[in-house]
Copies of this chain bind each other. A is one copy, B any other.
C-alpha cells in the first residue's frame, strides 16, 4: 500500500500492516458499502491438506474491516480496534484467489458491525463472517 493506489487519506496513505502483507492481502476498496480485499492462494497459506488455512480468511477479514472502519471514523477523532470475529467455513479455496467482500451493517458511535463473505474465483461462497469493531475516542497526541 506504500504507493497508495486507493488514494487513502493521511495518515492511512503511509501506513503498513505487516501481517496483511505477510498473508498477501491486497486491499481493493475501503468503501463501507463495498469493502474488498483479495488474497492470492500460495503454498505458504495452506494447511496440511493443501487448502487455504482458515486463519487466512480470518486475518484478511479482520484487516479489511479494521482499515475501512479506521478511515471512516478518523475524521471524527475516533480510532477502532477489533472486538470480535465469527467465521463460518463453507468451502475450501485451493487455487486462485480468495475474494473478501464486506459491508458495514451497523455504524454506531461505539461499535461497527460488518458482514463479510469470502468467495473463490468462480464466485462460490467459501466463508461467511461477522466482524465487530470497537470505536473509541482517539488518545491525546495521536494522529
Contacts and interface: CB of A to CB of B under 8 A. Distances in A.
Most buried by B among A44, A53, A110, A136: A53
Nearest to A47: B17
A84 B85 contact: no
Interface residues on A, range: 35 or more
Contacts of A92: 81
A72 interface: no
Most buried by B among A19, A23, A92, A132: A19
Contacts of A97: none
Given A85-B87, A106-B90, A16 B53 contact: no
A117 to B, nearest CB: 8
A87 B84 contact: yes
A55 B62 contact: yes
A118 to B, nearest CB: 12
A117 B21 CA distance: 26
A20 B47 CA distance: 7
Nearest to A1: B48
Interface in A60-118: 60, 62-63, 66, 81-90, 92, 105-106, 108, 110-111, 113, 115, 117
Interface of A: 15-23, 43-48, 53-56, 58-60, 62-63, 66, 81-90, 92, 105-106, 108, 110-111, 113, 115, 117, 125, 128, 130, 132, 134, 136
